[in-house]
Structure 1
Amino acid sequence: MKTTPEAILARLSALGIPHETHRHEAVFTVAQSAPVKAAIAGAHTKNLFLKDRKGSLFLVTAKDDTQIDLKRLHETIGAASRLSFGSAELLVSVWGVEPGSVTPLGAVNDVPASVRVILDERLMGFERVNVHPLVNTMTTGLAPSDLVAFLVATGHEPAILALPAPPSEPDMRSGD
């Protein structure tokens, strides 16, 4: 059986990790979460559940407005090949969450640790990082260092990396 949001919050408390949780309407996309983000201070996240051709799994957590070059991401995170999104079935079976509720806190369900967790280094500069506690009707805020401590406690030592940005579009007006 997968962990409940209440159990996640209890685990954070048991680890001595300060956290604050807000309940809200369900949100399934970064765009739908705009009213939630406006009401809750801190960096909000987007999460990509990815796999490479060899079946290695990755969870990439970045600030919600981060543009990521998915064609080059595999090079940055050490994947064997270009990445594709993991299926909803794989997400539920391995990470224990439904699409729209993807969160680094799902690491608690990945026993033994089979997913490599990647945190965008931009998140480390914020006082507070907001993630779902396994469901998309709640948002939990905690310090970036405490998110790392939680991940380590679940057996997921995260890699903190600068994620590749997509190439910028050439300025056609400049004549270059």
Structure 2
Amino acid sequence: MTMRGEDGLMADLAAHGISFETHEHQAVFTVEESAGVRAAIPGEHTKNLFLKDAGGAFWLVTVPADIRVDLKRLPEVIGCKRVSFGKAEEMVQLIGIQPGSVTPLAMINAQPGTIAVVIDKSLAEADRMNVHPLRNTVTTGLSGADVLRLLEHWGHEPLVAEIPTKEDQ
């Protein structure tokens, strides 16, 4: 499988006339580490879950950075069996990126049908959705509609859903 990488991503953004804004920053690996970065960048910030269901299917679920996903209720919403986190090696093999850099834009590297992509409804409708452009030292802001358009261009059929959350205990 050919990984198109960041050059391919930038070429597709240009080819589709997608406007975006990019911010370079220190590497961030968790939502907690990214708090300072998020404060400086307008728009909706994201958290990405690379999951594998009990049937062996892979899922990439993108949600607002500040929510806690209810992994017990998630399968009934997205239509799968019980989920757990995928392994780093599987992530590298399927989408060509390391943990900490997960982004729906990494689907540029994925063969259609290998990973189901789920975008939280609030992000899909956002004027500005902030995601990594394949590495965690940059944040790129673009509209949720443009993210969906890119996913479809790459042969993926994103599911837009209201992701179940855990209330803070």
Task: Sort the Cα spacing of 1:46 and 1:168 in 2 relative to 1 into closer, same or farther, 3 A.
Answer: closer
TM-score when normalising by structure 2:
0.94
Equivalent residue number for residue 31 of structure 2: 30
Please state if 1:48 is matched with 2:12: no
Cα distance in 2, alignment partners of residues 167 and 128 from structure 1: 25
Equivalent residue number for residue 131 of structure 1: 131
Cα distance in 2, alignment partners of residues 89 and 124 from structure 1: 28
Output the amino acid matched with 2:127. Answer: E
TM-score when normalising by structure 1:
0.90
Matched-pair contact (CA < 8 Å) for 2:112–2:156: no
Instruction: Spell out structure 1 runs of 4+ moving beyond 4 A.
Output: none
Report sequence identity in percent. Answer: 49
Q: Aligned to 1:5, what secondary structure does the other structure show?
A: helix
- After the TM superposition, which residues 1-176 of structure 1 pair with which residues of structure 2 at under 5 Å, given as runs? 1-79=2-80, 81-166=81-166, 169=169
* Mean Cα deviation higher: 1-10 or 87-96: 1-10
Cα distance in 1, alignment partners of residues 41 and 167 from structure 2: 31
Q: Any stretches of 5+ residues in structure 2 without a counterpart?
A: none
1:7 is displaced (CA, Å) by 2.7
Task: Sort the Cα spacing of 1:111 and 1:124 in 2 relative to 1 into closer, same or farther, 3 A.
Answer: closer
Matched-pair contact (CA < 8 Å) for 1:3–1:96: no
Matched-pair contact (CA < 8 Å) for 1:107–1:113: no
- Aligned-residue Cα RMSD (Å) equals 1.3
